[in-house]
Chains A and B, each alone.
Chain A
Amino acid sequence: MLSVTNLHKYYGDTHVLKGIDVEVAQGEVLAIIGPSGSGKTTFLRCMNYLETPNRGKISINHVTIDAENTTKKQIHQLRQQSSMVFQQYHLFKNKTAIENIMEGLIITKKMPNRKAEELALSYLERVGLKERRDAYPSQLSGGQEQRIGIARALAMNPAVILFDEPTSALDPENVGDILAIMRDIANQGMTMIIVTHEIEFARNVADQVIFMDQGEIVEKGTPEEVLVHPTYERTKRFLRRLHQEPDFII
């Protein structure tokens, strides 16, 4: 359903993605873990061309794009196959909660206003924020903003949802809520790619885990293989460090 072959990305002279290959089947959840600077977020952002890769192929559904030879139209088509949940939420600040969800439906999907509102409301209900429909993002808490962010991504009914560290900016007490919603979405068969530091969550929810370091995939497999019995020293070291890390650093 989604496949990436030999993806390369350079920032100037720095080679940040060194030939990434990934296959994700319909309904599968892929978790990407790795230290900061490993290129995992860059890789995720290449999936919908928020970053432009320099070489390689990306194919989602029936849209295939060759990084060395793209048109604006192809990029636009590729983007419509996915939606994204951001670390910093990035809700439209000039739109209310419900308008945030309706925006893509009206503009991209050309849905009539009435229908978009109905649909948006059902997604608001799904993330438990129906009563906040007319609140602006600045009037919502971080956890609420991220729930709207997820509802916005879901409403587009994409082939795959990309999650970029969706809980990293949240207060600890809100993390559980968001993860529960994500698990719920996964259980309903949505294809998901999740960049995360929540190892427990990846272990319980993901079908496939990738460990990335320094722009390449070090290890790839089931959560059991990568997270419990890693083969490579780099993976072991990363997981050890993660377990040692205190909850708070002052």
Chain B
Amino acid sequence: MANIDFRFALEQVPEILKGVPYTLLVTLVAMLVGLIIGTILAFFRVYRTPVLNQLAILFVSFFRGTPLIVQLFVFFYGLPRFIMYLNDLFGWNINPDFMSPLVIALIAYSINSASYLTEVVRSAILSVDKGQLEAAKSVGMTTVQAMRRIILPQAFVTALPNLGNQLIILLKASALAFTIGIMDVLGIARMIANDGYHFLETYLVAALIYWLLAIIFEMVFSKMEQRSNTFKGNVERKAKAAI
């Protein structure tokens, strides 16, 4: 324990890096699909659509209120059975095996992140001044046009810091996918660690890889925030401060 075998650690890097595509796949798909579902649910919440609003509240409450790892297991054992149930019910012939662990992980993470992003998007939409919608209507736009061109772009900027947070949380949470057999960064690291009894070295390498990915995400988001701040006038304010 006293001395760390750096050579062994270094040798394992290429192998563990092979898990990065899976880690990224789960993270990015969950972010994107979560954002789409979250935006739709946010509209149900903002407009208090009867029934759908209540269902959205229930959805958010359940998936934020239960551990992700439990959700993973429920989906892992539940989804194939659900498909068999549908087969029985409608006389379909879908092979439940298409629900590979990867597909199940993508579904579970997307739904989990949707529950958080619903609230992020909802609060961002509500933060946009009501006058913006009125102004859009006053030049003859429909509500949908106003949302797409005026409200959502502004809401997106407000939501950016929270979205960045969510992405990094997802990145780290994706490590749990090894529990259903995904060979992501942690999945591969565990395998190597168990084979060679070099637990500390392999997990340190895994930690550094996650950290590096997180730093890249942070950099991307800070660039996006800088850019989008243009219309908030921060650029000019900074310029004035510099003088």
- Check A138–B138 contact: CB distance below 8 A: no
- Check A90–B131 contact: CB distance below 8 A: yes
Q: How far is the CA of A152 from the CA of B137 in the complex (A)?
A: 13
Residues of A within 8 A of B129 (CB): 90, 93
Residues of B within 8 A of A82 (CB): 138
Residues of A within 8 A of B150 (CB): 92, 94-95, 103
- Check A94–B236 contact: CB distance below 8 A: no
1/0 per residue, CB under 8 A from B, across A99-138: the answer is: 0000110011100000000000000000000000000111
| Nearest neighbor of A85 in chain B, beta-carbon distance | B138
**With contacts A138-B232, A139-B236 known, is A92 near B135, CB below 8 A?**
yes
1/0 per residue, CB under 8 A from A, across B114-145: the answer is: 00000000000000010110111111111001
Q: Is the interface of B mostly helix, strand, loop or mixed?
A: helix
Is B113 in the interface zone, CB < 8 Å from A?
Answer: no
Q: How far is the CA of A107 from the CA of B134 in the complex (A)?
A: 15
Q: How far is the CA of A139 from the CA of B237 in the complex (A)?
A: 9
Q: How far is the CA of A116 from the CA of B5 in the complex (A)?
A: 68
**With contacts A107-B145, A138-B232 known, is A92 near B137, CB below 8 A?**
no
User: Considering the complex, which residues of chain A in the window 29-87 have a beta carbon less than 8 Å from any beta carbon of chain B?
Assistant: 48-50, 76, 79-80, 82-84, 86
- Check A50–B137 contact: CB distance below 8 A: yes
Q: Max chain A CB contacts within 10 Å: which of B135, B230, B233? A: B135
Size band of the A side of the interface?
20 to 34
- Check A48–B137 contact: CB distance below 8 A: yes
**With contacts A136-B231, A139-B236 known, is A79 near B135, CB below 8 A?**
no
Q: Is the interface of A mostly helix, strand, loop or mixed?
A: loop
- How far is the CB of A176 from the nearest CB of chain B, in Å? 24
Q: How far is the CA of A77 from the CA of B223 in the complex (A)?
A: 42
- How far is the CB of A110 from the nearest CB of chain B, in Å? 11
- Check A108–B141 contact: CB distance below 8 A: yes
**With contacts A76-B140, A84-B138 known, is A90 near B132, CB below 8 A?**
yes
**With contacts A92-B132, A94-B150 known, is A139 near B233, CB below 8 A?**
yes
1/0 per residue, CB under 8 A from A, across B138-158: the answer is: 111110010001100110010
- How far is the CB of A159 from the nearest CB of chain B, in Å? 12
**With contacts A90-B134, A103-B149 known, is A138 near B139, CB below 8 A?**
no
Given contacts A93-B132, A93-B232, could you give 17 more A-B pairs where the C-beta distance is less than 8 Å?
A48-B138, A50-B134, A79-B140, A86-B131, A86-B134, A92-B132, A93-B154, A94-B153, A94-B157, A107-B141, A107-B145, A107-B149, A136-B231, A136-B233, A139-B233, A139-B236, A152-B139
Q: List 25 A-B residue pairs with CB atoms under 8 Å apart, sorted by A's residue number.
A: A49-B137, A50-B137, A76-B140, A79-B138, A79-B140, A83-B138, A83-B139, A84-B135, A90-B131, A91-B135, A92-B132, A93-B129, A94-B154, A95-B150, A103-B136, A103-B139, A104-B140, A107-B139, A108-B140, A136-B232, A138-B232, A138-B233, A139-B236, A153-B138, A156-B139
Interface positions of A (Cβ within 8 A of B): 48-50, 76, 79-80, 82-84, 86, 88, 90-95, 103-104, 107-109, 136-139, 152-153, 156
The 4 A-B pairs of least Cβ separation, nearest first, read A138-B233, A104-B139, A108-B140, A90-B131
Interface positions of B (Cβ within 8 A of A): 129, 131-132, 134-142, 145, 149-150, 153-154, 157, 230-233, 236
